[in-house]
Amino acid sequence: MKEYIIKEHEDGTKVTVREVQLVLLEMLKDIDALCQKHHINYWLTGGSALGAVRHKGFIPWDDDADIGMMREDYERFVKVVHELGDGYVAQNFDIDERYNVVVPMKVRKKGTYCEEVNSLLKNKCTECDGLFIDIFVLDYVNDCKWKDFIWRMRNGFLMVVITLLENLHFNPKALKRRFLRNAKRYGQLNQGNAMIGYDLTWTFNSFFHPVVYPKESVFPLRYVPFEDTKLPIPKDPKPMLDNEVSCNFMSYPPLKDQQPKHLKDAKLS
């Protein structure tokens, strides 16, 4: 198996993608056990879901892990995440107002360290810089594309302002609160619609092509092989992967794109 390297140090030591994946796998197992204990529905998203479908585990060069939950499940998860124990730190805006709000929550592993490639996602919470699982909120969206577009533009503009102020070393707490309220309010206004997608805290996808797919394609979730365990994906992952990855998601990307892209450094202990 090809070895994918995140960083090679001057002393010859190196951090490999596989080493990171094995830590992330144990984190996913712990989160899965907690969610099963409290009957909280969640599923693998993005590259993690693609890995489950195409590789029965991680994509060999993938250096992160993503899961999603409907908002009601996310709000229940927030209340019990402390049960993961002392080895973990949960980060979101309610816990630490320095938090970067573009991802609703990160669950980090204590005793590890990582640095992300994307400087816009720089961790401003000083308690822990450990390896993490991104937790995304899925919520109801409007069937009318132009109405959906307006709401996304609103939060997209707010994110530009928030990022600018944070880069100037301000913490725009009021704008962050509005940003989060907009996302929750939009889901409430569309409660019960057929389509769901990443809530409005995720502004990195095109406003013209948001990650949206039918709720009926998700439930009931099914557990599928993932490395040496089983983890949940949507009942029919195709609509999600068609939208989030590509309609040719079972095909491998060009060799030049088969590289880790999220982390530029990591320490595993």
DSSP code string of 132-154 = EEEEEEEEE--SSHHHHHHHHHH
Q: Mean pLDDT of all residues in the chain?
A: 94
Report the pLDDT value the prediction gives residue 209, as an integer from 0 to 100. Answer: 85
C-beta separation of 222 from 164 below 8 A:
no
Report the pLDDT value the prediction gives residue 215, as an integer from 0 to 100. Answer: 97
Q: How many CA atoms lie within 13 A of 114 on its CB side?
A: 29
C-beta separation of 110 from 86 below 8 A:
yes
Residue entry with tokens 């309610």 = 94
For the record, the structure tokens of 85 come out as 């124990």
Residues of the chain with pLDDT under 70: 119-121
Distance CA 191, CA 199 (A): 12
Q: Which has the closest alpha carbon to 68: 153, 120, 133?
A: 133
Residue entry with tokens 């099914």 = 222
Report the pLDDT value the prediction gives residue 20, as an integer from 0 to 100. Answer: 97
Query: 24: which residues sit within 8 A by CB, 6+ positions away?
Result: 58, 64, 65, 131, 133
Could you tell me the pTM of the whole model?
0.94
Report the pLDDT value the prediction gives residue 12, as an integer from 0 to 100. Answer: 80
Report the pLDDT value the prediction gives residue 13, as an integer from 0 to 100. Answer: 87
Q: Which has the closest alpha carbon to 223: 33, 22, 20, 18?
A: 33
Between the alpha carbon of residue 55 and those of residues 49, 71, 132, 145, the distances in Å are 10, 29, 21, 34
Report the pLDDT value the prediction gives residue 9, as an integer from 0 to 100. Answer: 82
Task: Please give the DSSP secondary-structure letter assigned to residue 253.
Answer: P
**Total Cβ atoms within 10 A of residue 45:** 25
